[in-house]
Structure 1
Amino acid sequence: MVDGTCSEAFLPLRDLLEKSLASGEDAGAGLAVVHDGELVVDLWGGEARPGQPWTRDTLTHVWSLSKVMTTLAVLVLVERGDLDLDAPVARYWPDFGAHGKDEVVVRQLLGHTSGVPGWTEQVSVEEILDLEHSEALLADQEPWYEPGTAPAYQIICHGHLVDGLVRGATGRTLAEVVHEDVMAPFGGGFLLGVPEEQLGLCADLIAPPGSSIDHTTLGPDHFLIRTVPNPLLTAAVCNTEQWRRGSVAGMGGHGTARGIALAQALISHGGSVGGVDLLSPATVDRVLEVQAEGIDQVLTVPVRFGAGFALPVSSAPAIPEGRVCWWTGYGGAVVVNDLDRRTTFAYVPNKLATHLVSSPRTDAYVRTAFACLEDS
């Protein structure tokens, strides 16, 4: 039921995947670990869709894990001098400076304190797939709160904000930078927009149980109510060809655990891994600078955001302490970078759990992976 490779030290992780697939807790999934420059775990199993086995190259929709993949693109541009984390976003994207947003700097946008966690007006799925149109709406709107003062997770629009920034700085789309500058040196493995010839590799998402959030306690002006259904992205929507072909970088990426882990290992390995040298240690260290901390105004749980990644926080108890950065996707996908132990762990499922930043299934994988590391 489980295929791939796994070093002896990480066999408990393979056992956990086998158990989860056998019980039905996972339908199909991939796991990967890069440690000290070596891909020590590259596992997959289950079904991508009924009757179709999960293969080495199965692509999974990873929701907000997409956000930290786009962070790699931003960091590469910072390394090259095309972007400055301390510069105003409006230096590169002048329209964004409207309505008092002219002092928002790049690191604040990456750290979810831009003041623009969503669209003020109702938008459709078709509109957010039209990046330039939906980005123009964000640039022209007033901030929902004073930028830089508190975290408000840019749950759907984050990729649009980063795409507007990158497009203004380079004349290229964020997807182009991700594909050509970040993923190509690793042989691919993560896509913002699945080409027609690879659509057959996409796993079908399986919707989670109902939300555990009691929306009746939240007023109509609560940021969660104003963002999550605007537009409402269900598993059914995200299983369509229209969505898969789109490049919604905040939560529309598709990838393999292996591809995600190899690229993210740039962070855990100081900017250079497997012969790919894209970042300096100084640039990598900037992701650990706290940009926002406290109860997030969208997620309603404690968060601690660095520049483009989350940092260890009480709402995600399985994430190890130390020089660690990470993030997760709706339903359970996760990537964790441990800079001191030169280790990156990635998990991508197609059966979604009730999960915003933490859940028992994902936590078990994270804890097992790092326990194996301790014992190796």
Structure 2
Amino acid sequence: MSKIDVKTKSGRVSGFCDPKFHHVAEEFVKNFEVRGEIGASVSLNVEGETLVDLWGGYSEPDTKTPWAKDTLSLVFSCTKAATALCAHRLIDQGKMELDAYVSQYWPEFAQNGKQNVTVRMMLNHSAGLPAFHEPIKEGGYYDWDYMIERLSAEAPFWDPGTRNGYHLMSFGWTVGELVRRVSGMSLGRYFKENFAEPLGLDYWIGLPEEHEERTARMLPYTPSAEDKPTDFITHIMTKPASIQHLCFLNSGNFQPNCREAHAAEIGGGGGIANARALAGLFAPLANGGSLNGVTLLSSDHIAKMSAVSMATMEDATLLIPTRFALGFMKSMDNRYRSSGDLETAIIGDKAFGHVGAGGSIGFADPECHLGFGYSMTKMGAGLMLNDRGQMLVDAAYTALGYRTNEPGHWVK
């Protein structure tokens, strides 16, 4: 194992790397040198052994505070995978059924055309609840009970189950409330007791205040004059009645960097972690469901939950072709589109995981027993990965003997 300690123009890069994955370390350093990275971490393991664990740059660029080994950051929609895993553990244990009506566990939900919504629809983004028609109250995202009341009364945007549209933030409450109803625990507590603590992960859905000071501030992407806006962004800016506008801007003035947001259990996009935790969460899933004496899920259930469940040429929310498993993203190759470099995240064919706004990612690939995580503080453009994250993923697959991603996923 090689120790890494490199000075870049945006701070130091530290950690360790197996020589086999030296190109991952090189690309990580290059992110700081030429791709505008500010602060970030990357980690990967194979067959349960951590072979890359790197961090670098600044957690706070204004004060030049170094990104430390234990620095945390928002991982946005990577949290959806953690939320989905909570539901899948209950399903795998026989406490909840995929094709049961949601109202079996959450009776108040069966209002305004939602009586036939199933658990499966909640997980594969086909439930028809990607946004809220009426304004969310100020600070509503931080109030679990309020959001559940709103969802119970909400009318779907389409006939549930007939199409899919990414549930940008609502996923955390639709699936999270099922976890709460069935387990009797809040989403954050259930995740902590069944995943984070047994695996020793620094991963939080609802951050305790004592960890606030080591959480990096997310830096929003600043558009340039050369940027070509995606259809999703165009709808947000020009169509106030659209799903895109409502799911993104009807948020009760959600402020992701504030203490209230960090403390709230926002399962659709409020998780706080680092690359080591992202990779660590997926490591057992890449190795049959068990690792180091901890069993999360059965191998049969992993095969079921990671298969493509819903695919479309035009996602009703994102307005791009998407492919989803039951709560997870699959490899999505939209490079042929005019904005394709902003709408693509290429992983292995058997891999499953989730990207987060700005470019973070965590995933498992059972084919090569890979658990992968990348987190950062400077957000990039687009809906999926940007070149900083994708280059790290590409370097990892290349090191594992994969030849090409031309088919839309990495193959050997």
Q: TM-score range by the shorter chain?
A: over 0.9
2:328 to 304, 309, 321: 309
Unmatched segments (≥5 aa) in structure 2: 1-11, 335-342, 404-412
Does 1:35 find its partner at 2:46? yes
SS, match of residue 108 in structure 1:
helix
Change (3 A) 1:230 1:34: same
> If the length of structure 1 is used for normalisation, what is the TM-score?
0.94
| Contact 1:162 1:174 (C-alpha < 8 Å) held by counterparts | no
Could you tell me how far apart the structure 1 residues matched to 2:356 and 2:240 are? 25
Does 1:65 find its partner at 2:78? yes
Q: Which residue of 1 aligns with 2:141?
A: 128
| Contact 1:57 1:201 (C-alpha < 8 Å) held by counterparts | yes
Kindly state the Cα deviation for residue 375 of structure 1 after the two structures are TM-superposed: 7.3
Kindly state the Cα deviation for residue 219 of structure 1 after the two structures are TM-superposed: 3.5
Q: Which residue of 2 aligns with 1:241?
A: 259
Could you tell me how far apart the structure 2 residues matched to 1:308 and 1:35 are? 23
| Contact 1:69 1:264 (C-alpha < 8 Å) held by counterparts | no
2:131 to 118, 134, 138: 118
Could you tell me how far apart the structure 1 residues matched to 2:20 and 2:141 are? 44
Could you tell me how far apart the structure 1 residues matched to 2:253 and 2:332 are? 27
Aligned length: 374
SS, match of residue 99 in structure 1:
coil
Higher relative contact order (CA 8 A, sep 6+): 1
SS, match of residue 337 in structure 1:
strand
Q: Which residue of 1 aligns with 2:387?
A: 360
Identity of aligned residues (%): 29
Change (3 A) 1:348 1:233: farther
Could you tell me how far apart the structure 2 residues matched to 1:137 and 1:375 are? 46
Could you tell me how far apart the structure 1 residues matched to 2:253 and 2:14 are? 31
Q: Which residue of 1 aligns with 2:340?
A: none
Q: Which residue of 2 aligns with 1:213?
A: 230
Kindly state the Cα deviation for residue 318 of structure 1 after the two structures are TM-superposed: 5.0
Q: C-alpha root-mean-square deviation of aligned residues, in Å? A: 1.9
> If the length of structure 2 is used for normalisation, what is the TM-score?
0.86
1:25 to 14, 18, 36: 36
| Contact 2:278 2:372 (C-alpha < 8 Å) held by counterparts | no
Q: Which residue of 2 aligns with 1:291?
A: 309
Q: Give the alignment of 1:102-251 within 5 angstroms.
A: 102-124=115-137, 126-210=139-223, 212-213=229-230, 215-216=233-234, 219-231=239-251, 237-251=255-269
Could you tell me how far apart the structure 2 residues matched to 1:38 and 1:146 are? 45
Q: Deviations over 1:26-60 (max 9, x none)?
A: 10101011111111111111111132111111111
Could you tell me how far apart the structure 2 residues matched to 1:252 and 1:191 are? 9
Could you tell me how far apart the structure 2 residues matched to 1:323 and 1:233 are? 38
Kindly state the Cα deviation for residue 173 of structure 1 after the two structures are TM-superposed: 0.8
Q: Which residue of 1 aligns with 2:3?
A: none
Unmatched segments (≥5 aa) in structure 1: none
Kindly state the Cα deviation for residue 273 of structure 1 after the two structures are TM-superposed: 1.8
**After the TM superposition, which of the residue ranges 118-127 and 108-117 deviates more from structure 2?**
118-127
Kindly state the Cα deviation for residue 232 of structure 1 after the two structures are TM-superposed: 6.9
| Contact 2:140 2:252 (C-alpha < 8 Å) held by counterparts | no
**After the TM superposition, which of the residue ranges 15-24 and 335-344 deviates more from structure 2?**
15-24
**After the TM superposition, which of the residue ranges 211-220 and 131-140 deviates more from structure 2?**
211-220
| Contact 1:318 1:367 (C-alpha < 8 Å) held by counterparts | no
Kindly state the Cα deviation for residue 320 of structure 1 after the two structures are TM-superposed: 3.2
